[in-house]
Chain A
Amino acid sequence: MSDLKALLEVLLLAAIPVMPVIAGRLLLKRFPKTEAGAEPVPGERAGRLIGNFLFWCGILAILLVLVFILNYKGVI
């Protein structure tokens, strides 16, 4: 039971930095870029903005965690 709890905790903790990337990607898919002259989907501008923000913040978060791990390993 204790092992299962620890394993679930690891999965949840490791998933946190990936969540914004997934959410951002979903938003960018939901609000695709409109072609020139085409009718824009309502809320496209805000959706793409939030999607881009989440996606790139998530990427930065993953990179930051990698930096922490490299720091822990003594590489930096």
Chain B
Amino acid sequence: MGEFLALFLLLSPAAVVYGGEERPRPPATSADAIPSDGEMTMEELDRFYDNARRGSGAPEMDIAPSRGGGLKYSAPEPKAVPATPPPVTGGAEKSAGGEEKGTGGHGVTIQVIGSAQPLAFRRGADAAAAIRRLPAGSITSIEFYGHGAPGYQTVDPDYSLGSEEAGDLLRGKMAPGATLQFTGCNTASIGDRMRLNPAFGLSSITRRLLYFSLPYFQDRLDGRSAEEAREFWEREWNKDLAQETSLQLRGTKVCGYRTFGLVPERLPGVSHLTGANEATSPGYVAGVKACYINGVEVRP
């Protein structure tokens, strides 16, 4: 009898919640909300947005690979880049199956004209698919959040992009005066300004060690000539993803981090305490930001 009573008490709130809905609304994750051919019109975008808002807060699209248009399939790249050129998979996607666990905070947040709510995606491939279907000039701001390295940024373990890929993906989609933010470490060059900030100095030292010295010696061990290895990694270690992307997206303000961008919420333990271990945007980032418009540095 007690078991029946407990079951009844457990089911009652669920029934109330379920009964509160007059009719089931289309979920934000429905791929049918997006036309399979061509771009969305502003009306369709508005409808899509309404659906997204009815979802569980941050809409996460679940688009099957067959509907992804010209997306390429490629194997996931390792996060660390010790001995090979930065892995740019450009629109790489693995599968649109279940959400991966334990990959920490990462994602893409897109602000579109005419909506107060941003679109948030945990997977880069889903965000890319949605961006391709947005009307031209509709994005007012977009943030790629994940791990960065000189010249490229990863969004999730299966999706990373360089300046060419970001340019191809977003060309024509950005509204006038829009902002693109790469929230990842070393997504801008260290620059040539003298600074007194010791943390900036330490970040620059670490960048040089990790992205020049380490891969240089790895290449030497692999039999590459000293001159070739030096020339290659001298070019790579201080690449400026933000500046290069700003040249691809004329008129868009593109920002990155000159240093390691440390997100306190990503620290082990803190993310669990704050419940931000699967966040799609970073909150506070400790790092030195740099912004460019058409390749020229502007105030962040």
Contact = CB atoms under 8 A, between A and B. Distances in A.
Interface stretch (B41-49, B91-99, B210-218): B210-218
Interface in A1-17: 1-3, 6, 9-10, 13-14, 16-17
A41 to B, nearest CB: 29
B260 A68 contact: yes
Given A6-B217, A9-B213, A13-B208, A71 B262 contact: yes
A76 B79 CA distance: 12
A49 interface: no
Given A6-B216, A57-B198, A68 B230 contact: no
A35 to B, nearest CB: 35
Q: Which among A57, A61, A65, A71 has the highest number of chain B CB atoms within 10 Å?
A: A71
Chain A interface size band reads: 20 to 34
B165 to A, nearest CB: 21
A2 B185 CA distance: 28
Interface stretch (B10-18, B65-73, B199-207, B247-255): B199-207
B202 A6 contact: no
Chain B interface size band reads: 20 to 34
B206 A10 contact: no
Nearest to A67: B262
B156 to A, nearest CB: 12
Contacts of B206: 65, 68-69, 72
B213 A17 contact: no
B146 to A, nearest CB: 10
A71 to B, nearest CB: 6
B205 A16 contact: yes
A68 B208 CA distance: 12
Interface in B262-283: 262, 266-268
Nearest to A62: B202
Contacts, number: 60
A36 to B, nearest CB: 36
B199 A72 contact: no
Contact of A3 (B185, B226, B266, B267): B226
Contacts of B202: 16-17, 61, 64-65, 68
A64 B199 contact: yes
Given A10-B209, A14-B209, A71 B220 contact: no
Nearest to B216: A6
Contacts of A74: 79-80, 147
B227 interface: yes
Q: Which among B213, B220, B267 has the highest number of chain A CB atoms within 10 Å?
A: B213
B186 to A, nearest CB: 9
B266 A76 contact: yes
Interface of A: 1-3, 6, 9-10, 13-14, 16-17, 57, 61, 64-65, 67-69, 71-76
